[in-house]
Copies of this chain bind each other. A is one copy, B any other.
């Protein structure tokens, strides 16, 4: 009976985090935050030692990031963080436009007033972060802003694919500072997106998010050009 009583009321508790999961999350955080230089070798044992786990969880984490494309096999026993090339940036940007545009367009189907309120608060936090030049905070909230909208699509597999794309541009995005912390072009896009959500205008949300992606693309492209 308790089953019926609880059905729909509670969700199953999140499965406990296993060491492999924690190692994966930690390693991902290190990679996305830009703390790990591109083209530097990663080994199972070095990761295991650095994170204080045995080889099995370390190997699991590396393999998982490998299958997501966040790391690549540069050789038979050589795993490195890929550096973003022009070609990769073009490909990933086009894919992002397709998938994030799709998710953005669908977001209006399930958006609630409470969601928009949260987005507004996030935008306040982004503006504050820009004022304080706290780029880490800006990036973090910006990411939450985007994914809150994408999750409104109600399509978790789509959101997961988008996440894997962000994982590939994330490391390079961190090199954009202080460009990102001082450039406020993204603010206008976010405001347009929120307007579209209020009006339940899917096309408008899509175009706003697409423009945000294109703005980021231009900056990343300039960065890559300067790097060479």
Contacts and interface: CB of A to CB of B under 8 A. Distances in A.
A157 B67 contact: no
Interface in A3-51: 15
A98 interface: yes
A160 B95 CA distance: 12
A130 interface: no
Interface in A98-125: 98-99, 101-102
B95 A161 contact: yes
Contacts of A63: 60, 63-64
Contacts of A161: 95, 161
A88 interface: yes
Contacts of A76: 15
A8 to B, nearest CB: 17
Copies in the complex: 2
Interface in A43-96: 60, 63-64, 67-69, 76, 88, 91-92, 94-95
Interface bin, chain A: 20 to 34
Interface string A165-177: 0001000000000
A98 B153 CA distance: 15
A148 interface: no
Given A63-B60, A63-B64, A155-B91, A69 B99 contact: no
Contacts of A160: 69
Contacts of A67: 64, 67-68
Interface string A139-179: 00000000000000001011011000000100000000000
Interface of A: 15, 60, 63-64, 67-69, 76, 88, 91-92, 94-95, 98-99, 101-102, 155, 157-158, 160-161, 168
8 contacts: A63-B63, A64-B67, A69-B157, A88-B157, A95-B157, A95-B158, A98-B99, A157-B168
